[in-house]
Structure 1
Amino acid sequence: MRFFWQWIVSEKERRSVIPVNFWYFSLFGSLFLLVYAILRRDIVFIIGQSTGFIIYFRNIFLIRHEKRKACAMS
């Protein structure tokens, strides 16, 4: 879903865009896979999914931080 959403937004903007929802879709997808990996007790799968989860969470954090900073400067 995240790649489909990114494609739609990029087509509307007529340029390559990564919308915030892309990161939310990534985060929730990674969370579901992480839960599945934990239930399977597969350490390699857990490490792989937790790494992605951390990266997606960090991107959302940075986006929110940037928006707050921009609002404070206005």
Structure 2
Amino acid sequence: MFQANTIWLAIGFSGQLLFTSRFLVQWIASERARRSVVPVAFWWFSLAGGATLLAYAIWRRDPVFAVGQASGLFIYTRNLMLIGSKKNREQSS
């Protein structure tokens, strides 16, 4: 059986992989467009990675890491809300 430490390490590394993937998504989108762009997937990877890393930080009882990740979750969520509002306005027009 896996120990709790091993499971939490896997969760931490998974969160870091999700969080890092957002940069790959953004880079590929920018290269394709030949300009700097931030695709919606960037914000979804940010939210998923940030939430996973927040869980890991709480388990590690690391307040600095936890506050940093929690703060980011508000920004990622707000960006997704703004994107959703814009799509709704465009569909209404």
TM-score of the superposed pair, with normalisation by structure 2: 0.74
Worse-superposed segment, 9-18 or 40-49 = 40-49
Asked which structure has the greater CA Rg, the reply is: 2
Q: Aligned pairs, how many?
A: 73
* Uncovered stretches (5+) of structure 1, i.e. residues with no partner: none
Counterpart of 2:91 in structure 1 is: 71
Give runs of ≥4 in structure 1 deviating > 3 Å. none
* RMSD of Structure 2 on Structure 1 (CA): 0.9
Distance in 2, Cα, partners of 1:3 & 1:44: 23
Q: 1:25-62: per-residue Cα shift (whole Å, max 9, x none)?
A: 11111001100111122222211110011111110111
In percent, how many aligned pairs have the same letter?
53
Partner residue of 1:22 out of 42, 45, 50:
42
Counterpart of 2:78 in structure 1 is: 58
* Uncovered stretches (5+) of structure 2, i.e. residues with no partner: 1-20
TM-score of the superposed pair, with normalisation by structure 1: 0.91
Worse-superposed segment, 13-22 or 34-43 = 34-43
